[in-house]
Amino acid sequence: MKFYTPLCLLCLIFATSCKKEISEEKKMTNTPPIADKIEKHLEIHNDIRIDNYYWLNDRENPEVIDYLERENNYYNNVTAHTKDFQTSLFEEMKARIKEDDSSVPYFYKGYFYITRFETGKNYPIYTRKKGNLDATEEIMFDGNQMAEGHSYFHLGGINVSPDNNLVAFGIDTISRRNYTIQIKNLTTGEIYPTKIELTTGSSTWANDNKTLFYTRKDQQTLRSDKIYRHLLNSNPDQDVMIYHEEDDTYNTFVYKTKSDKYLVIGSGSTLTSEYRILNANTPEKQFQIFSPRQRGVEYNIAHFGTDFYVLTNKDGATNFKLMKTLETKTASENWKEVIAHRENVLVEDFEIFKEYLVVSERDNGLNKIHIQRWDGTASYYLPFENETYTANTMQNMEFDTNILRYSYNSLTTPASVIDFNMKTKEQTIMKEQEVLGGTFDKENYESERIWATAADGTKIPVSIVYKKGIKKDGSNPLLQYGYGSYGYTIDPSFSSSRLSLLDRGFIFAIAHVRGGEYLGRKWYEDGKLLKKKNTFTDFIDVSKYLIAEGYTSKEHLYASGGSAGGLLMGAIMNMAPELYNGVIAAVPFVDVVTTMLDDSIPLTTGEYDEWGNPNEKEYYEYMKSYSPYDNVEAKSYPNTLVTTGLHDSQVQYWEPAKWVAKLRELKTDTHILLLKTNMDAGHGGASGRFEALKEVATDYSFLLDLEGIHQ
């Protein structure tokens, strides 16, 4: 696999135009492009699959770029009548955003850190103030200046040295999540010429202010597999590799504990964790294993005083429990229980303060934040009232404080940043998201949580929001969203851009299908590997329930999902296409079998515990039975918009491209089928807050156009 700079891509596109020039007349046609068919036989387990579009798996081939450009031209032509509406939607959504916005400052090692935006600019500006908020602002990074000349830009991994004088940072200008690390002197403003290539962008300083640890990626698979030690002002070619994760189902990373005492190397797969620790004052010494990996045992660690606290599923604690151990005896046989495992409560995270332990839990799908004093004199939960909210702890950098910072929002309530005094139980709203434009009133919207019944009798939770006054007569357009993989939970949260749908009569529903962790770890395990189809049937059963209850009808129901949620979209389109008038599949993982058989593709080997290893016949046959690409048939499909990015490192562009080509070949309907490829972006889409908002406007205009709504 090869990666291209923007210049190389221009060369490819130029070569394409020379080899297969597209006439102006052809560009303006509303006839969909037809991809060439070149048979490719793929054989394993005495089974042969014929892939006629395998040839699209080649960025170097000018014919591939040509095909993607023709699809883009077709998209532009078919949607030309909505361009003005897209623009007005974008301006409408943009007008709700406070452009000259800034984050709530947080205090860390003598400085207040603030991220702010300026009117009309796409990228954040990272600043700090020494000692107090009235101090002179120091601009650490202006993303707008740094992004100049780049069609894509992302700044990440900002990490200030312990003495506050240096900052390491990572930059990606291709959108393949390959970052170049550099170091800036915050006193002089100089960015040192040293560049460390092919990294995750993240790094951590030892306590000597001159030793930096970082993670490199494998050049082909992009797996994070090696930890290096870099000395300030030295040649990166001389950096010492201090750890190599040789198991290709694992990724590795490095960080420092909140106590600043230990450097930590973590290594993890879907099912298993392992850590190594080193005193941050002695970075030249060797890391020691915290507790050796045991397949199926996951754990996370945090340091406090003379102990480590360990969040783990050890000994069958499916929903995790909290344990602790002396820093001198870290092996798992020494761990002692602090919070026991509970069958119905998932322990998701914890925060350690000098006098308090804060635990983030999930009970019956709802976020809970539990606070207790170490001395046992207080133990309570923060009160939350409805069933469609999200609450999470935020930057709690200080150790010796009574203040817990957390965020709260709901489907109808904009996000707030709240400082809670754990001693007095007083809370201060530090900031509430402003929704500009003068028309938003949260009292005009209503949310609810309902439960659909799956075919196997399982109750599936659904979070719904809509504008008050709707009637359940089946006439409402409804957008149903889902994901359902990796144990990732889609919490109900506020979106100001979503108001553009709600105000035009749409209902928005999140189907909390199996494969996420909304109802605990078992909810995840019941939607993976050989139970993956539960994710798809859950989503379909939610759709049937919403129709049966009059929220919508087949003529007005739409579905949306991205990445693994795009796989969900492909599966439901094959299994129940008659239920949906339209589907949006963003960067969809649809060619499951071929991708999972190719261990040269980024992320593949690390995914075996999620999807299974198709080199084993049982998993191969199960994957093949639901893989969207392998199950396209000659039948009617819904109106469909598929989006992808040429540089996507997580779901390669050729998966959606091949899928659309095969759908074009076999589908028997006259419904719209569109493929839109961002030639400058990757998995996350366009960079910059406004460019990303344009993509939302594109999606919304597709849905609204299908409903005959054009203003």
Catalytic (active-site) positions:
563, 648, 683
Q: Which residues pair with 514 in a beta bridge?
A: 516
Q: How far is CA 214 from CA 165, 272, 301, 486, 691, in A?
A: 19, 22, 19, 25, 31
The single-letter DSSP state of residue 285 is: S
Question: For 43-50, which contacts have Cβ atoms below 8 Å and span 24 or more sequence positions?
Answer: 44/597, 44/614, 44/615, 44/620, 45/617, 45/620, 45/621, 47/620, 47/624, 49/593, 49/594, 49/624, 49/630
Q: How far apart are CA 498 and CA 495, in angstroms?
A: 5
Q: Radius of gyration over alpha carbons of the chain, in Å?
A: 26
Q: How far is CA 91 from CA 95, 403, 697, in A?
A: 6, 39, 9
Q: How far apart are CA 651 and CA 602, in angstroms?
A: 9
Four-CA torsion 696, 4, 56, 676, nearest 10 degrees: 20
Extract the tokens encoding 136.
């002179």
* Strand 639-645, strand 582-586: pairing: parallel
Q: How far apart are CA 593 and CA 631, in angstroms?
A: 11
Q: How far apart are CA 157 and CA 559, in angstroms?
A: 34
Q: Which residues pair with 229 in a beta bridge?
A: 213, 240
Nearest Cα to Cα of residue 264 among 294, 308, 297, 305: 308
DSSP string, 248-272: TT-EEEEEE-TTSSEEEEEEE-SS-
CB 336 within 8 A of CB 322: no
Phi, psi of 468 (to 5 degrees): -60, 145
Contact residues for 479 (Cβ-Cβ < 8 A; gap 6+): 501, 506, 507, 508, 509, 558, 559, 560, 703
Residues constituting the chain? 711
Extract the tokens encoding 331.
């092996």
